Amino acid sequence: MKVKKFVAPTLKEATALMKKELGNDAFILSTRVINKRTDFGIQKHFEITSGVEEELDLVLAEVENQIPKHGSSFSDELRDLQKRVIGTPSKNRNHNDSIVITPKPNNRTQISSEKLKEYVDKLIYQEVSKPIIKLIVNQIKKSSEFINPSNIEDYVITALSSLITTTSFEIKKRGKQKIVAVVGPTGVGKTTCIAKLAAISKILNNLKIGIISIDTYRLGAIDQLRIFSEVSNIDMLVAYEPSEMPALIKKFSDKDLIFIDTAGRAQRNIKELEKTREFLNIVKVDETYLALSATSSTKNLNDVAKKFELFNYSAIVVTKIDEGVVFGNILNVIVNSQKPLIYLTNGQVIPDDIIAADSDFVAKMVITGNIS
Ligand SMILES: Nc1nc2c(ncn2[C@@H]2O[C@H](COP(=O)(O)OP(=O)(O)OP(=O)(O)O)[C@@H](O)[C@H]2O)c(=O)[nH]1
Ligand SMILES: [Mg+2]
């Protein structure tokens, strides 16, 4: 908000001065009578302190009104987000640590509030969380002299992208053996994801792969992996009890990479989650990925991401982006969980339908609503 003082012999004149300079949207914040030295001696004058919302402030106010309020206070969420995203660089951040972008100033017209609102509306439609939208609008405000109608989309994409931390999968042939587990809710695509990663690692990277299934819970789960293991010629073992795990890992001592496929668990079922954890705790799992479906709401994803923290997962795989309609939920859960994204999966085809995490790609998904 722009604040300015106006002084005149009458209140009416002071108000007229205010409207002339700040326009009809200006409003009076306070008034007081002051003594002013004039050619005719000391005279009483009226001083008004007035304010006018700048165009971007109006958009921000609209953002606040449009998005339903949830849980904790909005300003707390925003402060927390700013501290996390801008204040403290993350070791997993693959991008510039700040979302302040400093292109060269341009002489063209600054961005209009209509144009900005168009992007705010897109973010709202994509169900991007309110603190993130406000953060983006604040960044646009700070850099408004550099932004014009032709670069605003790139700016928003870069700003969104810098909020998405990513990580990548690394393994060296004949290096130290790596054990990777995938956990997550039921039916999200954990087994399919493991099949894709196993096939790619074998075919493209020529690695020796073993798969251990601990999903003796769901009917047909073992058969699903066994068929894949036969077709792809990848060794597979099954553990029925946590105590069997060390022996199975030993059997796979010649493997470069071991995947552990877990049973899908509802995040509320803490007892079952604990059971799965027993299997993983008994061996030294190097990396655990949480699989989340792109078709779940932000609230569900946040809840799952929180409840599955007991696995101390290192990264998130977002599955089924081909079935997603809006993608703000992916951005929200990555920012909220403070875990990096490692893969996206975009279909049922093994091994083709998997994409290494790319924050620009996700930011574009959020802005365009498309996955291509
Ligand atoms: N459209 C689409 N379908 C997928 C994707 N990934 C997996 N699926 C399908 O989702 C269904 C469940 O996949 P699974 O890999 O068995 O899921 P899961 O998480 O292992 O399931 P549970 O072990 O029962 O918890 C299957 O029909 C898969 O083909 C994806 O990226 N896109
Ligand atoms: Mg499965």
Q: What is the 210 CA–ligand 2 centroid distance (Å)?
A: 16
Q: What is the 191 CA–ligand 1 centroid distance (Å)?
A: 7
Residue whose CA lies nearest to ligand 1 atom number 4? 348
Nearest ligand to the CA atom of 264: 1
Q: How far apart are CA 342 and CA 170, in angstroms?
A: 11
Name the one residue in this structure whose structure tokens are 């951040």. 93
Q: What is the pLDDT of residue 127?
A: 95
Nearest ligand to the CA atom of 193: 1
Kindly give the number of the ligand 1 atom that is closest to the alpha carbon of 265. 25
Record the tokens describing residue 203, joined without a space.
């075919």
Mapping DSSP to helix (H, G, I), strand (E, B) and coil, where does residue 149 land?
Answer: coil
Q: What is the 365 CA–ligand 2 centroid distance (Å)?
A: 27
Q: What is the pLDDT of residue 37?
A: 86
Nearest ligand to the CA atom of 186: 1
Q: Where are the beta strands (DSSP E) in the chain?
A: 2-8, 27-38, 41-52, 178-183, 209-213, 235-238, 257-261, 287-293, 315-319, 341-345, 354-356
Residue whose CA lies nearest to ligand 1 atom number 26? 189
Kindly give the number of the ligand 1 atom that is closest to the alpha carbon of 215. 23
Pocket of ligand 1 (CB under 6 A): 186-192, 215, 218, 221, 263-264, 319-320, 322-323, 345-348, 353
pLDDT averaged over consecutive 10-residue blocks of the chain (372 residues)? 86 90 81 86 88 66 56 55 48 42 49 83 94 90 82 92 93 86 97 96 94 90 92 96 97 97 91 95 96 97 96 98 97 96 97 96 96 88
Q: How far apart are CA 128 and CA 125, in angstroms?
A: 8
Mutate to test the pocket of ligand 1, among 293, 348, 352, 355 (most ligand atoms within 8 A of CB): 348
Q: Can the peptide bond before residue 149 be classed as cis, meaning omega within 30 degrees of 0?
A: no
Q: What is the pLDDT of residue 327?
A: 97
What lies within 8 Å, CB to CB, of 63 at 6+ separation is: 120, 124, 130, 133, 134, 137
Nearest ligand to the CA atom of 343: 1
Nearest ligand to the CA atom of 184: 1
Kindly give the number of the ligand 1 atom that is closest to the alpha carbon of 354. 31
Kindly give the number of the ligand 1 atom that is closest to the alpha carbon of 221. 23
Mutate to test the pocket of ligand 1, among 191, 192, 323 (most ligand atoms within 8 A of CB): 192
Kindly give the number of the ligand 1 atom that is closest to the alpha carbon of 187. 21
Residues within 5 Å of ion ligand 2, judged at the Cβ atom: 190-191
Kindly give the number of the ligand 1 atom that is closest to the alpha carbon of 347. 32
Q: What is the pLDDT of residue 242?
A: 96
Q: What is the 287 CA–ligand 2 centroid distance (Å)?
A: 18
Contact 191, 348 (CB under 8 A): no
